[in-house]
């Protein structure tokens, strides 16, 4: 039975919890909220980094009040970021058959990446009706392996991708409100492709990326934005030096959003034209939004 059949005479209340490294998933969550509200739903959008979500009692209260739960995240190696998995496993209350949906943002191929969280939600007792992947802008182009040939980051492409993404989000909103199933990545090709990306990442661990980060002192203004906004407090500044610790989830927020492009990932990225940073989706995006 669809969500609208259950709640025909009431306004549907949706809560969306999301994590976004560099703004794409923030944009997708906000766009989805607009589309749902246009159809008379009441929608709350909260970052997993926001103060409200950090407080367990507040989190439980928000969830009790919602008819439908949404989870959004960026795809990392066909997987769900560790920070989101921890939230789903350790902090999210049991579902008791509450309706839920998952959306991810990704650049090229995500296999069964949305189903990773969908499976975890099911284990917790949620009824997952939609799990979809939305293609958006690439946020990494690095000077090694296949990463050096990933799509170039530019404004024109960003605008084109957002238009297409918005069409998909309109469809997602309609399906959520109708309680209609839409589960992507359940076929053998996507399951196998997803596993092939996830297994090496599990062995290497995302923190392997942190090994290569360093700050170019000539361009750094010591604004401390990277330290303040790292989602895992992985960057320390002590005695005039930046230290990248072992809790990196490879979100590439520090690398992309440093106002001076001072954070490097191997020496090659000092060539900022060949390795441009992704400054987020636009539409009012600022780094502070990622914690709201
Ligand atoms: C470490 C890392 C791994 C990624 N792996 C994939 C991937 O396997 N498939 C894909 O399509 N995109 C991948 N991406 C691209 C992001 O999923 C994509 O740009 C996403 O929209 C970023 O969302 P955000 O801005 O909300 O962080 C990866 C990005 C990073 C930083
Ligand atoms: S965000 Fe960039 S400029 Fe600011 S302290 Fe960090 S590295 Fe330096
Ligand atoms: S160190 Fe940079 S890439 Fe790693 S978690 Fe922090 S902000 Fe993200």
pLDDT in tens, 65-106: 999 999 999 999 999 999 999 999 999 999 999 999 999 999
Mean per-residue pLDDT, 259-279 = 94
CATH number of 3-199: 3.40.50.360
pLDDT per residue as tens digits for the range 13-66? 999 999 999 999 999 999 999 999 999 999 999 999 999 999 999 999 999 999
Rg of the Cα trace of the chain? 19
CA of 48 to the centre of ligand 3 (A): 15
Looking at per-residue pLDDT, the higher value among 195 and 32 belongs to: 32
pLDDT at 209: 78
Q: Counting beta carbons within 10 angstroms of the beta carbon of residue 278, is it exposed (0 to 12), middle (13 to 18) or buried (19 or more)?
A: buried
pLDDT per residue as tens digits for the range 113-171? 999 999 999 999 999 999 999 999 999 988 888 888 787 778 888 999 999 999 999 99
For 56-59, the CB contacts below 8 A with 24+ separation are: 56/91, 59/91, 59/92, 59/93
CA of 250 to the centre of ligand 3 (A): 6
- Nearest of 93, 88, 94, 70 to residue 16 by alpha carbon: 70
- Nearest of 245, 272, 250 to residue 261 by alpha carbon: 272
User: Sorting pLDDT into bands at 50, 70 and 90, what band is 1?
Assistant: very low
Q: Answer yes or no: are the C-beta atoms of 244 and 234 closer than 8 Å.
A: yes
Looking at all shown ligands, the one closest to residue 281's CA atom is: 1
Nearest CA, atom 4, ligand 2:
223
Query: What does the domain layout of the chain look like in residue ranges?
Result: 3-199, 206-271+282-288
Ligand 2 atom nearest residue 216's Cα = 7
Instruction: Tell me the whole-structure pTM to 2 decimals.
Output: 0.95
Is residue 3 scored above 80 in pLDDT?
A: no
Q: Do domains 3-199 and 206-271+282-288 have the same CATH topology?
A: no
pLDDT per residue as tens digits for the range 215-264? 999 999 999 999 999 999 999 999 999 999 999 999 999 999 999 999 99
Ligand 2 atom nearest residue 260's Cα = 3
CA of 209 to the centre of ligand 2 (A): 18
Residue recorded with tokens 């960003």: 158
Nearest CA, atom 2, ligand 2:
258
How would CATH label the architecture of 206-271+282-288? 2-Layer Sandwich (3.30)
């Amino acid at each position: 039975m669809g969500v609208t059949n259950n709640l025909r005479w009431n306004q549907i209340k949706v809560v969306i919890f999301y994590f976004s490294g560099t703004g794409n998933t923030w944009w997708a969550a906000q766009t989805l909220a607009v589309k749902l509200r246009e159809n008379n739903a009441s929608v709350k959008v909260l970052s997993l980094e926001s103060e409200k979500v950090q407080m367990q009692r507040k989190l439980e209260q928000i969830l009790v009040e919602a008819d439908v739960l949404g989870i959004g995240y960026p795809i990392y190696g066909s997987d769900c970021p560790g920070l989101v998995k921890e939230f789903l496993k350790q902090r999210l209350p049991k579902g008791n058959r509450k309706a839920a949906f998952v959306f991810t943002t990704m650049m090229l191929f995500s296999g069964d990446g949305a189903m990773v969280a969908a499976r975890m939600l099911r284990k917790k007792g949620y009824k997952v009706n939609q799990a979809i992947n939305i293609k958006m802008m690439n946020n990494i182009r690095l000077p090694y392996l296949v990463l050096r040939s990933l799509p170039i980051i530019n404004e024109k492409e960003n605008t084109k991708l957002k238009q297409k993404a918005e069409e998909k989000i309109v469809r997602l909103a309609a399906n959520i409100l109708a309680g209609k199933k839409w589960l992507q990545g359940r076929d053998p090709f996507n399951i196998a492709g997803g596993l092939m990306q996830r297994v090496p990442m599990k062995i290497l661990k995302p923190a392997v990326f942190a090994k290569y980060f360093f700050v170019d002192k000539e361009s750094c203004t010591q604004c401390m934005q990277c330290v303040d906004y790292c989602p895992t407090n992985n960057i320390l500044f002590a005695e005039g030096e930046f230290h990248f610790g072992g809790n990196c989830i490879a979100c590439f927020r520090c690398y992309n959003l440093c106002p001076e492009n001072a954070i490097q990932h191997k020496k090659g990225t000092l060539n900022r034209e060949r390795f441009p940073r992704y400054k987020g989706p636009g539409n009012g995006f600022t780094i502070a939004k990622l914690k709201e």
